Amino acid sequence: MSGKPIIKPTVKPSFPAKMDLSVGKGVNTRLQAIAPNPAQTLQRVKAIPSALAKPVPHATAVPMGLGMDSSTFRARMVSKLASQGITDARVLNAMQATHRHSFVDTALANQAYEDTSLPIGWGQTISKPNVVARMIELLFEGKTGNLGRVLEIGTGCGYQAAVLSHIALEVYSIERVAGLYEKARENFRPFRIKNTHLLFGDGMLGFPKGAPYTGIIAAAGGDAIAQAWIDQLAIGGRIVAPVTNKVADKAVSEQSLVVIDKTETGLKRTVLELVQFVPLKSGVI
């Protein structure tokens, strides 16, 4: 493991004007505590109670002086999402409730509510709010009531997992880069999100212990939908994932958003718009 210690700067950015990101975000001293192999981490996760009665309205820690300012920025972001065609109130509410600025580096916090992807370290990016909202809307399309368990492949900084945690009964999110797994844990800490399990491992294998899932969502694009995801999907469940298009004569590979619905009678595959995601890779680093 070659992760650099994540040192949060003590001088905070000037946006939003009164924003104080220091609460709950001290210097990361836990880096050495990463389990040396995925099995250990997964065991640690196993100890978490698995079934929750209903989605939990999280006790979100609102740092002093931040409340009004950041929620105004989020409200603006949410109305833009609505104007871009996101209609599911559950998704819009979750986007309003999730502090995107707390999941990106402090130096980028002033861009957190713009519709842009942002670097999160280790060569990875957090998706645009519009893409996060669109994918989650697709994941829960047509589903009401108990929304069941969701598996996210590619935790990254943890933002999308946090959004999902407001809508799904339970979320399992798996990350292959140890440094990002650790960063997501750090980002989650102030929010005390109880229905989400962050895992370190190769998401191409899914996470059988949490299966069957109502939804599986990938934040990285592979050449195909992994068989393990299909196997771990419940009947009536849905996978939403970017998949590389096989275009022989193109230098740059393209990805499309793919939806797989698992029914009693088989799988239904729907190919949607072109998208751009970081590559899905096997193994852990």
Identify which range of 22-30, 44-52, 124-132, 253-261 contacts ligand SAH by CB under 6 A: 124-132
Instruction: Please report whether residue 258 would count as binding ligand SAH according to CB under 6 A.
Output: no
Backbone angles phi, psi at 198, to 5 degrees: -90, 130
**CA 77/CA 133 separation, integer angstroms:** 11
Asked if residue 282 binds ligand SAH (CB under 6 A), the reply is yes
Among the listed residues 147, 233, 258, 280, the single contact to ligand SAH using CB under 6 A? 280
**Rounded distance between C-alpha atoms, residue 168 and residue 150, angstroms:** 7
| CA 186 to chain CA mean position, Å | 14
Cβ-based nearer residue to ligand SAH, 227 or 263: 227
Stretch that binds ligand SAH, among 43-51, 197-205, 241-249, 268-276 (CB under 6 A): 197-205
**Residue 259 in the binding site for ligand SAH (CB under 6 A):** no
Cβ–Cβ under 8 Å, residues 22 and 63: yes
Among candidate residues 70, 102, 127, 173, the one labeled active-site is 127
Between residues 219 and 243, which has the closer beta carbon with respect to ligand SAH? 219
Q: Does 160 bind ligand SAH (CB under 6 A)?
A: yes
Q: Would you count residue 200 as binding ligand SAH (CB under 6 A)?
A: no
Query: What phi and psi, each to the nearest 5 degrees, are found at residue 151?
Result: -110, 125
Q: CB of 180 within 8 A of CB of 120?
A: yes
Nearest C-alpha neighbor of 8 from the set 34, 35, 31:
31
261 neighbors 229 (Cβ within 8 angstroms)? no
x-marked contacts with ligand SAH along 216-255 as a string, rule CB under 6 A: ---xx-----------------------------------
Label the pairing between strands 233-244 and 213-218.
parallel
45-53, 58-66, 84-92, 176-184 -> range binding ligand SAH (CB under 6 A): 176-184
The answer to the question of residue 177 lying near ligand SAH (CB under 6 A) is yes
For residue 28, give both structure tokens: 């990361």
Asked if 136 contacts 217 with a C-beta cutoff of 8 angstroms, the reply is yes
Please give the Cα distance from 40 to 21 (Å, whole number). Answer: 32
E strand residue ranges, 117-167:
118-121, 124-126, 149-153
Q: How many angstroms separate the CA atoms of 98 and 81, rounded?
A: 14
**Which stretch in 29-37, 67-75, 125-133, 252-260 sits in contact with ligand SAH by CB under 6 A?**
125-133
Catalytic (active site) residue 83: no
Q: How far apart are CA 208 and CA 78, in angstroms?
A: 34
64 vs 230, which CB is nearer to ligand SAH?
230
Cβ of residue 266: shortest distance to ligand SAH, in angstroms? 26
Interface residue with ligand SAH among 70, 102, 127, 165 (CB under 6 A) is: 127
Catalytic residues: 127
Residues that bind ligand SAH (CB under 6 A): 120, 124-127, 153-154, 156-157, 159-160, 174-177, 180, 202-204, 219-220, 278, 280-282
